[in-house]
């Protein structure tokens, strides 16, 4: 148990309270793949917080006559009850109840929606867990004197217990999660902002190409488990930490070429881990590879600082600084949209994290 995150007991006079927070998705530049209990990363990771792809969540806390052993909640996602989300939330509430025991005195009515296209293959667990954690901490702050910093730390801590990468969606534009010799105040329990990065990185765009909008073939829960007994796991964890050590000075210097090299290596290593696990799988589609080749050719021909990264799926995240946004968008329209389902993409930009709405 982490003593500093244990909340006070519920107040004597319980009252209904409504909280509404939104949280963005994030895209890892150095990937987290492999964990130990409870949701502790095997290596440090670093991400861009996004701004347009986000989840909006409302929680109504209604007092109960008698406290429950478990957290009582109902969940409506985009107007419907979704059973698979319910199971995930049950686990989440079990994990966080020791840190917010006052929740046993309330019924939570949760309503949530995403601003990105439905079933787009864009991971929503990070944004949804961060938005929910923000509502929970907002409620706790009614009877706790938190500093702003403590509030953000607790939100990131709770979000991590829902979905590891969610802890990185709380602030922005660059967040690091995990103990690492070069990350000041780095922690496995929560993410911290990366300070002193060059302003060019706060101007980055992420155009998410929707190559395959279907369900992921492999959930990240299963994916992380496949790193147990993986023949290359230990080497991968060492390499991820080394990539982060290389990336931090690159971020400070504004070294865009250095950035491209680390970010693309990380994307391909993540997928290399999937291809070499047991069971093995390939989440890239032929169109994912076509897009990567087009990006490489465009960069070589024009010298434009555009690169790609991948999540645990077939979609491609095209990353570029604002100063080359207009030519890159023209290139995306002319050359890349043909590889997307219904020519769909989401134009996102780097952002600042959670916000009341």
> Residue 173 interacts with ligand PMV (CB under 6 A)?
no
Torsion angle (degrees, nearest 10) of CA 144, 150, 155, 158: -80
> Residue 156 interacts with ligand PMV (CB under 6 A)?
no
CA distance 50 to 351: 5
CB neighbour list of residue 260: distance below 8 Å, 6 or more residues apart: 299, 305, 307
> Residue 309 interacts with ligand PMV (CB under 6 A)?
no
CA distance 78 to 86: 14
The token pair at 223 is 């994916």
In angstroms, give the least distance from the CB of 46 to ligand PMV: 9
Contact string 245-284 vs ligand PMV (x = CB under 6 A): -------------------------x--------------
> Residue 19 interacts with ligand PMV (CB under 6 A)?
no
Q: Which is nearer to ligand PMV, 294 or 317 (CB)?
A: 317
> Are residues 259 and 307 in contact, defined by beta-carbon separation less than 8 angstroms?
yes
Member of 31, 154, 205, 271 binding ligand PMV (CB under 6 A): 31
Give the residue carrying structure tokens 């959670």.
354
Greatest alpha-carbon pair distance for the chain in Å reads 69
Candidate ranges 157-165, 244-252, 316-324, 332-340; the one touching ligand PMV (CB under 6 A): 157-165
Look at residues 87, 105, 130, 128 and name the one whose alpha carbon lies nearest to residue 7: 105
> Residue 165 interacts with ligand PMV (CB under 6 A)?
yes
> Residue 188 interacts with ligand PMV (CB under 6 A)?
no
Contact string 287-306 vs ligand PMV (x = CB under 6 A): --------------------
Contact string 196-225 vs ligand PMV (x = CB under 6 A): ------------------------x-----
Member of 260, 312, 332, 345 binding ligand PMV (CB under 6 A): 312
> Residue 125 interacts with ligand PMV (CB under 6 A)?
yes
207 forms beta bridges with 318, 347
In angstroms, give the least distance from the CB of 320 to ligand PMV: 20
Candidate ranges 106-114, 162-170, 201-209, 333-341; the one touching ligand PMV (CB under 6 A): 162-170
Count the Cβ atoms, other than its own, within 10 Å of residue 116: 22
Member of 311, 346, 348, 353 binding ligand PMV (CB under 6 A): 311
CA distance 184 to 195: 9
Contact string 33-62 vs ligand PMV (x = CB under 6 A): x-----------x-----------------
> Residue 163 interacts with ligand PMV (CB under 6 A)?
yes
Query: What size, in residues, is the chain?
Result: 357
Q: How many CA atoms lie within 13 A of 2 on its CB side?
A: 17
Candidate ranges 24-32, 108-116, 191-199, 299-307; the one touching ligand PMV (CB under 6 A): 24-32
In angstroms, give the least distance from the CB of 30 to ligand PMV: 8
The token pair at 180 is 């690492």
In angstroms, give the least distance from the CB of 160 to ligand PMV: 9
Candidate ranges 30-38, 70-78, 233-241, 331-339; the one touching ligand PMV (CB under 6 A): 30-38
> Are residues 189 and 219 in contact, defined by beta-carbon separation less than 8 angstroms?
no
Count the Cβ atoms, other than its own, within 10 Å of residue 15: 10
Q: Which is nearer to ligand PMV, 152 or 240 (CB)?
A: 240
CB-neighbour burial class of residue 303 (10 A; exposed 0-12, middle 13-18, buried 19+): exposed
CA distance 180 to 186: 6
> Residue 116 interacts with ligand PMV (CB under 6 A)?
no
Count the Cβ atoms, other than its own, within 10 Å of residue 206: 23
Q: Across the beta sheet with 345-349, what order do the strands follow?
A: 307-310, 316-320, 205-209, 345-349
The binding site for ligand PMV (CB under 6 A) comprises: 28, 31-33, 45, 123, 125, 163-165, 220, 270, 311-312
């Amino acid at each position: 148990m982490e003593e500093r995150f244990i909340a006070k007991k519920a107040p004597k006079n319980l009252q209904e309270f409504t909280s509404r927070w939104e949280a963005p998705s994030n895209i890892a530049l150095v990937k987290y793949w492999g964990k130990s209990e409870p949701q502790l990363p095997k290596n440090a990771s670093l991400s861009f917080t996004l701004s347009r792809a986000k989840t909006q969540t409302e929680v109504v806390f209604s007092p109960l006559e008698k406290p429950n052993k478990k957290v009582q909640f109902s969940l409506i996602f985009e107007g419907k009850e979704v059973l698979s989300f319910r199971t995930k939330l049950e686990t989440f509430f079990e994990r966080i109840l020791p840190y917010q025991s006052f929740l046993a005195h309330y019924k939570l009515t949760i309503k949530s929606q995403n601003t990105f296209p439905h079933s787009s293959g864009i991971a929503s667990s990070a944004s949804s867990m961060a938005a929910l954690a923000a509502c929970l901490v907002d409620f706790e702050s009614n009877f706790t004197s938190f500093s702003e910093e403590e509030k953000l730390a607790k939100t990131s801590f709770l979000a991590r217990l829902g979905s590891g990468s969610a802890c990185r969606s709380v602030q922005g534009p660059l967040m690091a999660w995990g103990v690492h010799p070069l990350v000041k105040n780095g922690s496995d329990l929560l993410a911290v902002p990366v300070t002193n990065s060059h302003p060019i990185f706060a101007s980055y765009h992420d155009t998410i190409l929707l190559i395959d909008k279907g369900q992921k073939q492999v959930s990240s829960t299963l994916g992380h488990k496949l790193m147990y007994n993986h023949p290359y796991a230990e080497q991968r964890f060492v390499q991820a930490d080394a990539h982060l050590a290389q990336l931090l000075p690159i971020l400070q210097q504004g070294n865009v070429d250095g950035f491209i090299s680390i970010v693309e290596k990380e994307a391909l290593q993540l997928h290399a881990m999937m291809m070499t696990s047991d069971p093995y799988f390939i989440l890239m589609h032929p169109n994912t590879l076509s897009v990567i080749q087009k990006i490489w050719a465009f960069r070589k021909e024009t010298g434009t600082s555009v690169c790609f990264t991948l999540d645990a799926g077939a979609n491609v995240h095209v990353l570029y600084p604002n100063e080359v946004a207009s030519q890159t968008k023209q290139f995306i329209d002319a050359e890349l949209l043909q590889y997307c389902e219904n020519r769909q993409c989401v134009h996102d930009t780097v952002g600042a994290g959670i916000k009341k709405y």
